[in-house]
């Protein structure tokens, strides 16, 4: 076997010096000692470092003589067998021995010395850092971007904005402050969504009451401030602490708008004010506010006074009285109207309803809705109109001419008097007896005229106004200015003074009846209003609080079908805060009704 040893050196100027020598032997020795076949003058190489011997199949074996190894294609080892035809690179310290063989030619060993290069370079390439920007650079870039976009821009544009009156429809001037919003505004404030500075006027100053009042200028104080302060109960220690902290941070204090009205709670209606804000004052208020007329209240289920009703308690007087439903209440609205009689399933009224049912949409018996018509918003009921509700049965017709009926005008006693007095066709006593006038002049015919004395007309008027008469049937007869008359009627549209009741959300069988805690069937008018057993209109048919509590208990009552906070029925703000306008009865004169009764 022959080896071709080629040594490549470099001159100081970098020129290559190639020296070849051929060795016709089977094995080679490698080491620092000069007698080696391959002499490598590097102190890191052993004197006798390794040897190369032939192996089977044209292969060569390199083996370390001592304990120090060498590298084969970069890998450290002490023994390696390789095919010179495929090529291999052996490394001894700073020397590289490239071993190759072309066909059957001599095994060529090219010896070069490598220059020193920093070893850390290679290792660095393995790090992910070599493929990514540095963490520090990313952190700084992100830091600056976040601070610019979410802090610098909004603050700068907010500080340099022009101060204008807030406009509900226009966006504000602060840029990027939408990113500061913690949630959508409620429906009523939705127009201010892009106008943060409308409410958040000054930097680091909490939303002030005066800012709310720029738009809500009609809102009055709930009560006089000094009375409010007196009635507010002592705060718990926790609340005291919380308010101390809040005031340190510049909040206005208990009782300001934002205490009760929290915003940014998401689109939709604003959250109702929690009952605890009401209870702060109204719980045990009589001990602090000695002269108050109001009973204590803290929770609808457990601490709420009996409902009170406003009603006309004096016959014929406009003066109203307000009394607790626990007190004996006698309502004097001036009408005689037994609900029980009218709602009875059998008897005269039911019969009458059945008879004229097709004309008036009545069923086999009268029902509440036949007289009580809901308002368009179904919140309450329209005033009962005699002409609409009663006259179908209680007719005021007093004459018939041809096919046309003449009807008295309801509600005007003087007119009734005049109409009846002037009734020229009343069956007066004829002047002559036994003879009838012929043709068109006969009684009941076109030219009939009655020349008798009109005394029966006056008897008719008096009869009508008597207790059993047509007017007196429903109205209470009285005498005014020496003449027979009826007591004026005052009907109440609402019995509630400081709260409201929404029939729509209760009625139309929209909710279910509760019996003994169980839902059963559907609620009807009479399940709250005991009209079916009321034999006199002196009964005030408003349900007591116990019936409300079948469904409604306090805000936190888990067992109640409808947990109810104060705000469900009461408003804190005296006027426009949501109390529906009391429906006013348009008629200023409530008077009698009459039907004709021939003498």
**Looking at 200-208, 292-300, 451-459, 481-489, which segment touches another protein (CB under 8 A)?**
200-208
- How far are the Cα atoms of 219, 277, 403 from residue 257, in angstroms, in the given order? 11, 11, 68
- Which of 1, 27, 39, 150: binder of another protein (CB under 8 A)? 150
Please say which residue, 274 or 452, places its beta carbon nearer to another protein.
Answer: 274
**227 token code pair:** 């009375």
What are the Cα distances from residue 545, in Å, to 297, 305, 324?
13, 8, 10
Under the criterion CB under 8 A, does residue 156 sit at the interface with another protein? Answer: no
Alpha-carbon span 173 to 152, nearest angstrom = 15
CA 555 – CA 155 distance, rounded (Å): 41
For residue 378, report the phi and psi dihedrals to the nearest 5 degrees. 60, 20
Residue 240 touches another protein, criterion: CB under 8 A = no
DSSP structure class, residue 556: T
Buried-exposed string 53-83: b where 16+ CB fall within 10 A, e elsewhere: eeeeeeebebebeeeebbebeeeeeeebebe
Which residue in 417, 409, 399, 418 sits closest to 464, CA to CA?
Answer: 417
Region near another protein per CB under 8 A, out of 271-279, 311-319, 363-371, 381-389? 271-279
Please identify, using beta-carbon distances, which residue of 152 and 225 lies nearer to another protein: 152
Q: Which of 13, 130, 236, 293 is close enough to bind another protein by CB under 8 A? A: 130
Asked if 268 touches another protein (CB under 8 A), the answer is: no
Question: Which of 54, 58, 183, 363 is close enough to bind another protein by CB under 8 A?
Answer: 183
Angle between helices 413-421 and 455-464 (to 10 degrees): 150
125 binds another protein (CB under 8 A): yes
| DSSP letters spanning 317-365 | ---EEEEETTS------SB---HHHHH-SSSHHHHHHHHSHHHHT--SS
**Three-state secondary structure call for residue 569:** coil
Q: Least CB distance from residue 86 to another protein, whole Å?
A: 5
Confirm or reject binding of residue 237 to another protein (CB under 8 A).
no
CB of 220 to another protein, least distance (A): 24
Report the residue from 135, 290, 359, 584 that binds another protein according to the rule CB under 8 A. Answer: 135
Residue 572: CB minimum distance to another protein, A? 15
Asked if residue 139 binds another protein (CB under 8 A), the reply is yes
Which window, 79-87, 160-168, 392-400, 452-460, contacts another protein (CB under 8 A)? Answer: 79-87
Q: Considering only residues 2, 44, 146, 418, which one is a binding residue for another protein as defined by CB under 8 A?
A: 146
CB of 499 to another protein, least distance (A): 22
What single-letter DSSP state applies at residue 149? Answer: I
The contacts of residue 317 (CB under 8 Å, 6+ apart) are 490
The smaller minimum CB distance to another protein, of residues 181 and 598, is found at: 181
Q: How far is the CB of 181 from another protein (least distance, A)?
A: 6
Range in contact with another protein (rule: CB under 8 A) among 118-126, 367-375, 471-479, 503-511:
118-126
Q: Return d(Cα 195, Cα 171) in angstroms, integer.
A: 5
Phi/psi at 323 (5° precision): -140, 150
Instruction: Give contact residues for another protein (rule: CB under 8 A).
Output: 71, 73-76, 85-89, 91, 96, 98, 100, 102-103, 110, 119, 122-123, 125-132, 135, 138-140, 142-143, 146-147, 150-151, 154-155, 158, 177-184, 196, 200, 203-207, 242, 245, 249-250, 262, 264-266, 271, 274, 276
């Amino acid at each position: 076997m022959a080896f071709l040893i080629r040594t490549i050196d470099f001159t100081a100027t970098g020129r290559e010096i190639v020296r070849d020598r051929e060795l016709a032997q089977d094995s080679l020795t490698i080491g620092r000692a000069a007698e080696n076949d391959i002499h490598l003058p590097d102190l890191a190489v052993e004197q006798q470092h390794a040897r190369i011997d032939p192996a089977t199949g044209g292969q060569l074996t390199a083996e370390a003589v001592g304990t120090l190894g060498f590298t084969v294609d970069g890998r450290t080892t002490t023994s390696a067998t390789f095919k010179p035809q495929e090529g291999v690179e052996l490394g001894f310290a700073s020397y590289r021995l490239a071993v190759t063989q072309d066909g059957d030619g001599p095994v060529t060993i090219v010896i070069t010395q490598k220059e020193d290069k920093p070893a850390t370079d290679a290792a660095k390439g393995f790090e992910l850092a070599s493929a990514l920007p540095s963490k520090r650079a990313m952190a700084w870039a992100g830091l600056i971007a976040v601070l610019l976009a979410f802090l610098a821009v909004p603050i700068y544009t907010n500080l340099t904005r022009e101060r204008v009156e807030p406009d509900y429809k226009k966006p504000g001037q602060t840029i990027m402050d939408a990113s500061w919003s913690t949630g959508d505004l409620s429906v009523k404030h939705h127009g201010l969504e892009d106008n943060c500075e409308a409410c958040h006027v000054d930097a680091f100053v909490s939303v002030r009451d005066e800012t709310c009042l720029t738009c809500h200028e009609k809102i009055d104080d709930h009560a006089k401030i000094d009375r409010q302060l007196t009635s507010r109960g002592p705060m718990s220690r926790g609340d005291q602490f919380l308010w101390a902290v809040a005031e340190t941070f510049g909040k206005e204090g208990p009782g300001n708008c934002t205490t009760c009205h929290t915003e940014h709670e998401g689109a939709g209606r604003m959250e109702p004010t929690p009952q605890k804000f009401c209870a702060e004052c109204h719980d045990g208020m009589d001990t602090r506010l000695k002269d108050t007329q109001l009973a204590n209240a803290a929770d609808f289920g457990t601490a709420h006074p009996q409902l009170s009703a406003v009603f006309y308690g004096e016959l014929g007087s406009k003066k109203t009285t307000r009394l607790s439903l626990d007190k004996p209440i006698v309502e004097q609205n001036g009408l005689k109207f037994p609900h029980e009689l009218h709602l009875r399933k059998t008897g005269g009224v039911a019969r009458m309803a059945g008879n004229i049912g097709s004309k008036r949409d009545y069923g086999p018996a009268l029902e509440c809705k036949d007289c009580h018509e809901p308002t368009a918003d179904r919140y309450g009921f329209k005033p009962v109109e005699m002409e609409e509700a009663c006259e179908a049965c209680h007719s005021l017709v007093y004459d018939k001419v041809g096919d046309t009926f003449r009807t008295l005008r309801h509600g005007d006693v003087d007119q009734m008097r005049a109409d009846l007095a002037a009734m020229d066709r009343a069956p007066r006593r004829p002047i002559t007896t036994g003879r009838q006038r012929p043709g068109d002049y006969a009684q009941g015919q076109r030219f009939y005229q009655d020349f008798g004395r009109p005394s029966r007309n006056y008897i008719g008027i008096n009869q009508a106004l008597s207790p059993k008469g047509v007017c007196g049937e429903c109205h209470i007869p009285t005498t005014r200015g020496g003449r027979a008359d009826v007591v004026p009627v005052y009907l109440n549209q609402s019995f509630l003074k400081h709260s409201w009741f929404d029939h729509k959300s209760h009625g139309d069988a929209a909710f279910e009846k509760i019996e003994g805690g169980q839902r059963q069937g559907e609620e009807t008018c009479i399940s709250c209003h005991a009209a079916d057993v009321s034999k006199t209109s002196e009964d005030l048919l408003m349900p007591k609080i116990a019936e409300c509590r079948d469904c409604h208990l306090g805000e936190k009552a888990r067992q109640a079908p409808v947990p109810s906070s104060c705000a469900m029925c009461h408003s804190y703000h005296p006027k426009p805060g949501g109390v529906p306008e009391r429906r006013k009865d348009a008629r200023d004169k409530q008077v009698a009704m009459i039907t004709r009764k021939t003498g």
